[in-house]
């Protein structure tokens, strides 16, 4: 039987898509992230075998890889919680089971029993001395992934299977940690989750990039259109007048005909909003969130970051205080670095990259020219042609991960801004009511989850950061 | 000045919509749910004043209610975290500030300083001896809610303001606890969050109730349609083959021309799926989740449940083990109770209500006739014309809150089922791949968040359970 390992080496021409296990991976012992057994229903998983050293355990999972040396069979077993090598000796097991092992194919589902041994040479810290083997389902011979190098289109067509590759497993586990860190941070800081609507009657920023559909158009209402939300911010502003601090976290949609590595048509957005918080406090909240996210990932996903070959030194430097630059300071710095950015221009992606390379921490970029920003941003009283906004740029060239601002809270001023932006007032009367009845200083910000995941995991393209990416030419599977 | 309290009494003809504060509300001391001060940025909130008894504090919030007795002014202040009464004496404060108090209107935003006093007669356990008063923004005179009784359409038109009513505040706080209990439970039980797509190319259950839209239809792809997902289940089944256990939790959409009190066109659905879990284990996971949700709400939202006048005795009885009934047993019981349900019929809403009134715990209703259930449900090997599914019926007449089943994991059987359901195979080839490459026994279930919130809060209609409800005739605000 040929060695199977060669089959799932990392492809070289995959345009940054990753597949399978890179053999050189060494990782922290899972002891560091030891879990208790699953109890509902009771089940031992690979991530929870540490307390079972010396014991016999039963594990169920998939054959991620295997090789045979005639009398010894090495099975790489994964079960969702982690992976472990099971070593079988022909002379020490049932011969029918030994034959079943010889017929094994990649990604077959299997049940094994074995004795847990600590093994410091193993990338995962443990090994199983195999005792019994049972095939749950022998996979078809032609497992689509891993026999050769694959391009991104092929892998995305096989996304339902590609998710099993260790790199993809690692990315989604990091994503899960980032989601949970976000919830934990907001819970601890007085925010409640406030689910803003996806189906909306209009949009504050025009409809050119909105997905549109009939909303019971053939019914008695006749011809009503609904639009998929791009952000829940305006609704959150209503929420904080009741709850003080709110966040939402859900899918948003952008019908942008854009094919860059940073764009998806459906992505997850977190928006947070807080009453009685002004520009400086808004940045404190953002800084705390980013520090918390990176800290939790470093603590909980050391193994996953190793799998992804992520250099964790830059992540360790993500500590408060972040760098603060005004837009005006950034323009001066960028011109000195060779950029031709105009004095009142928004930063382009290249400018962001250039700037982040100057610092090893995230950058707060504050106080943009008012004309390049949205109507609801409050002007800086000291420089009324600029707004009290900020972006956060992630280091290592990743660029914008957060956008936020203090909001205009004066009724007459915000009406003036809406007129300047040629926005009709009528659909926003409810939003204006928030300035009529107990208006308060308030601020908020949002992050795109996929951009945070891409940065923390060190990925080039956001398409790997979400389970089933949707792009202009990709609605499948 | 007339007493303002009368203005926001609960309307009598509001068709179960609730507004404002019911005066008789008594509640547990907030000491029981004492929070620490907000630190990012530093701020004292009403929920965190317990440690400040005897001290002067500054609070910012909204005038929820007030009354004056000539020389004493009673201000009910809310700040999102809770509410507290501030008592001002004309003789002991700045006279300009006293005059400002006399001009106060409902829902104005204010800043107050006062000394914290414990007051066991107060529904919230504390009172402030008012020292200073500052108007942040004097509200317009005609605050839309509270001057008279309101019907549900009016209140839903004013949803952005109605959210400030204490009942609505309480409901969303309970919703927040339910969301967090769900995350905590799944985290502790080895599930990761797996965000399934909303934009999908097809649907497993036909397209009659799907919202449809052009997906870059005018571009080079020409005429592609996308549909808004009704459930992420099929995608979760791909997820568990990599991660073992997954859940999703996001908005789903149903273009149903239905106007019942249990239907929304956009609602939040939690779907969970687990590899190597069969029918019995699936029910164990569901039972643990429901018990955890109710326990957390009872612990964290005692005050909110009081506001909602929710009888908590039935909630305290939500303990394992739940009742188990097969569909066949339920039919016998229902007929004895007078129902005319057919032997192989699905239960109607009336049947569910009737059944839940017989027990004080939730009911697992198992093993429905195969012909009334979806193609992916695994047949019961002991009764092959029934499936290994279960619903969970909430007590007190609330009915179905969970639906789940073990999934068919055999390739040839599931293809046969799809043919029986007249489903095309081609769009589901990716789903069939999950049975080709390492198929495993697996199960899953889903809950509709709004139905859980309605039950736990004791509400008649789901429209109050989500911040901005979307119904057939309601897309605003």
A-chain residue closest to B40, CA distance: A285
Report pLDDT digits (tens) over A226-279: 999 999 999 999 999 999 999 999 999 999 888 888 889 999 999 999 999 999
CA B86 and chain centroid, separation: 32
Q: Give yes or no for A320 touching B (CB within 8 A).
A: no
Rounded alpha-carbon distances, angstroms, from residue A365 to A70, A272, B98, B256: 62, 18, 43, 46
Q: Phi and psi of A393, rounded to 5°?
A: -100, 125
A-chain residue closest to B428, CA distance: A477
Residues of A in contact with B197 (CB under 8 A): 266, 467-468, 470
Confidence band of B476 (pLDDT split at 50, 70, 90):
very high
Q: Is the pLDDT confidence value at A10 over 70?
A: no
Report pLDDT digits (tens) over B308-324: 999 999 999 999 999 99
% of chain A residues with pLDDT over 90: 82
Q: What is the pTM of this model?
A: 0.93
What are the structure tokens assigned to A392, written together? 């956060």
Rounded to the nearest 10°, the torsion over CA B443, B449, B454, B456 is: 70
Q: What pLDDT sits at residue A231? A: 93
CA atoms within 13 A on the CB side of B471: 20
Q: What pLDDT sits at residue B148? A: 73
Q: Give yes or no for A348 touching B (CB within 8 A).
A: no
Q: Is the pLDDT confidence value at B30 over 80?
A: no
Q: Look at residues B342, B444, B360 and name the one whose alpha carbon lies nearest to residue B398.
A: B360
Rounded alpha-carbon distances, angstroms, from residue A188 to A178, A181, A183, A289, A475: 15, 11, 9, 11, 37
CA distance B298 to chain A (A): 17
Report pLDDT digits (tens) over A417-442: 999 999 999 999 999 999 999 999 99
Could you say which DSSP state residue B104 is in?
-
Residues of B in contact with A176 (CB under 8 A): 192-194
Q: What pLDDT sits at residue B206? A: 59
Question: Which of B438, B441, B464 best probes binding to A when mutated, by most A CB atoms within 10 angstroms?
Answer: B438
Q: Look at residues B241, B240, B275, B236 and name the one whose alpha carbon lies nearest to residue B252.
A: B236
Q: Is the pLDDT confidence value at A365 over 50?
A: yes
Q: Phi and psi of B118, rounded to 5°?
A: -75, 140
Q: Give yes or no for A209 touching B (CB within 8 A).
A: no
CA distance A284 to chain B (A): 6
Q: What pLDDT sits at residue B13? A: 33
Report pLDDT digits (tens) over A314-344: 999 999 999 999 999 999 999 999 999 999 9
Answer yes or no: are the C-beta atoms of A297 and A178 closer than 8 Å. Answer: yes
Q: What pLDDT sits at residue B63? A: 98
Find all residues with CB under 8 Å of B248, minimum gap 6, and list them: B193, B194, B195, B196, B232, B235, B236, B269, B270, B271
Quote the mean pLDDT of chain B: 90
3-state secondary structure B170-236: HHHHHHHHHHHHHHHHHHHCCCEECCCCCEECCCCCCCCCCCEEECCCCCCCCCCEEEECCCCHHHH
Q: Give yes or no for A190 touching B (CB within 8 A).
A: yes
Contacts of residues A42-50 at CB distance under 8 Å and 24 or more positions apart, as own/partner, are A43/B276, A45/A79, A45/A80, A45/A81, A45/A82, A45/B190, A45/B244, A46/A77, A46/A78, A46/A79, A46/A81, A46/A82, A46/A83, A46/A84, A46/A124, A47/A81, A47/A82, A48/A81, A49/A84, A49/A116, A49/A126, A50/A125, A50/A126
ipTM, interface predicted TM-score of the complex: 0.93
Task: Specify burial of residue A338 (Cβ count, 10 A radius: 0-12, 13-18, 19+).
Answer: exposed
A114-119: average pLDDT: 96
- Only one residue has tokens 């019908």, namely A255
Residues of A in contact with B434 (CB under 8 A): 160
Question: Which of A34, A38, A404 best probes binding to B when mutated, by most B CB atoms within 10 angstroms?
Answer: A38
Task: Spell out the domains of chain B, with CATH numbers in brackets.
Answer: 3-137 (2.40.50.140), 166-464 (3.30.930.10)
Q: What pLDDT sits at residue B257? A: 85
Q: Is the pLDDT confidence value at A121 over 90?
A: no
Q: Is the pLDDT confidence value at A350 over 80?
A: yes
- The sign one gets for the Cα dihedral A235, A241, A247, A248 is negative
Q: What pLDDT sits at residue A130? A: 98
Confidence band of A89 (pLDDT split at 50, 70, 90):
very high
The reply to whether residue A140 touches residue B436, judged by beta carbons under 8 angstroms, is yes
Of the given ranges (A447-461, B76-90, B211-225), which has the lowest mean pLDDT? B211-225
Rounded CA-CA distance B351/B160 in Å is 37
Q: Give yes or no for B193 touching A (CB within 8 A).
A: yes
Question: Which of B437, B450, B471, B472 best probes binding to A when mutated, by most A CB atoms within 10 angstroms?
Answer: B437
Neighbour tally for B383: CB within 10 Å: 14
Residues present in chain A in total: 477
Q: Is the pLDDT confidence value at A30 over 50?
A: no
Report pLDDT digits (tens) over A206-230: 557 899 999 987 545 556 899 999 9
% of chain B residues with pLDDT over 90: 82
Confidence band of A66 (pLDDT split at 50, 70, 90):
very high
The H or E element containing residue B253 is strand B245-253
Q: Give yes or no for B320 touching A (CB within 8 A).
A: no
Q: Is the pLDDT confidence value at B219 over 60?
A: no
Residues of A in contact with B80 (CB under 8 A): 190, 240, 242-245, 275
The reply to whether residue B241 touches residue A163, judged by beta carbons under 8 angstroms, is yes
Q: What pLDDT sits at residue A31? A: 38
Report pLDDT digits (tens) over A446-468: 999 999 999 999 999 999 999 99
The H or E element containing residue B433 is helix B429-436
The reply to whether residue A242 touches residue B80, judged by beta carbons under 8 angstroms, is yes
Confidence band of A204 (pLDDT split at 50, 70, 90):
low
Rounded CA-CA distance A190/A196 in Å is 18
Angle between helices B166-188 and B279-300 (to 10 degrees): 140
Residue window 428-467, chain B: list those with CB within 8 Å of chain A: 430-431, 433-441, 466-467
Confidence band of A282 (pLDDT split at 50, 70, 90):
very high
What are the structure tokens assigned to B83, written together? 């509410």
B173-191: average pLDDT: 98
Rounded CA-CA distance B83/B61 in Å is 9
Q: Is the pLDDT confidence value at A25 over 80?
A: no
């Amino acid at each position: 039987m040929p060695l199977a390992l060669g089959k799932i080496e990392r492809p070289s021409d995959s345009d940054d898509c990753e597949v399978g296990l890179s053999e050189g991976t060494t990782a922290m012992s899972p002891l560091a992230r030891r879990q208790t057994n699953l109890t509902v229903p009771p089940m031992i998983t690979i991530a929870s075998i540490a307390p079972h050293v010396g014991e016999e355990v039963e594990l169920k999972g998939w054959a991620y890889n295997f090789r045979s040396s005639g009398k010894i069979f090495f099975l790489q077993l994964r079960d969702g919680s982690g992976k472990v090598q099971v070593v079988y000796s022909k002379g020490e097991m049932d011969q029918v089971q030994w034959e079943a092992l010889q017929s094994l194919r990649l990604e077959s589902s299997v049940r094994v029993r074995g004795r847990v041994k600590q093994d410091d040479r193993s990338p995962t810290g443990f090994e199983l001395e195999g005792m019994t083997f049972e095939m749950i389902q022998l996979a078809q011979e032609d497992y689509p992934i891993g026999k050769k190098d694959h391009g991104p289109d092929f892998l995305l067509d096989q996304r339902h299977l590609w998710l099993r590759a260790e790199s993809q497993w690692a990315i989604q586990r990091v994503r899960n940690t980032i989601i949970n860190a976000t919830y934990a941070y907001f819970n601890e800081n007085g925010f409640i989750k406030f689910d803003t609507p996806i189906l909306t009657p209009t949009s504050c920023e025009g409809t050119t990039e909105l997905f549109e559909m009939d909303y019971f158009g053939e019914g008695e209402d006749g011809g009503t259109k609904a639009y998929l939300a791009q952000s829940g911010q305006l609704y959150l502003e209503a929420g904080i007048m009741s709850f003080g601090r709110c966040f939402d976290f859900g899918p948003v949609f952008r019908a942008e005909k854009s094919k860059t590595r940073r764009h998806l048509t459906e992505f997850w957005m977190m928006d947070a909003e807080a009453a009685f918080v002004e520009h400086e406090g808004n940045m404190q909240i953002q800084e705390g969130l980013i520090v918390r996210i990176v800290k939790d990932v470093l603590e909980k996903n050391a193994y996953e970051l190793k799998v992804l070959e992520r250099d964790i030194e830059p992540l360790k430097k993500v500590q408060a205080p972040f760098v603060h630059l005004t837009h005006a300071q950034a323009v001066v710095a960028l011109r000195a670095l060779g950029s031709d950015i105009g004095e009142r221009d928004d930063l382009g992606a290249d400018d962001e990259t250039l700037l982040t390379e100057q610092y090893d921490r995230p950058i707060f970029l504050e106080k943009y020219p008012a004309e390049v920003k949205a109507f609801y941003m409050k002007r800086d009283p000291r420089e009324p042609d600029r707004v009290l906004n900020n972006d956060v740029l992630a280091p290592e060239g990743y660029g914008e991960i957060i956008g936020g601002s203090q909001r205009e809270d004066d009724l007459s001023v915000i009406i003036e801004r809406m007129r300047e932006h040629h926005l009709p007032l009528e659909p926003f009367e409810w939003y204006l009511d928030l300035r009529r009845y107990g208006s308060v200083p308030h601020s908020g910000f949002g992050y795109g989850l996929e951009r945070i995941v891409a940065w923390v995991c060190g990925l080039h393209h956001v398409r790997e950061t979400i389970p089933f990416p949707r792009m202009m030419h990709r609605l499948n599977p």
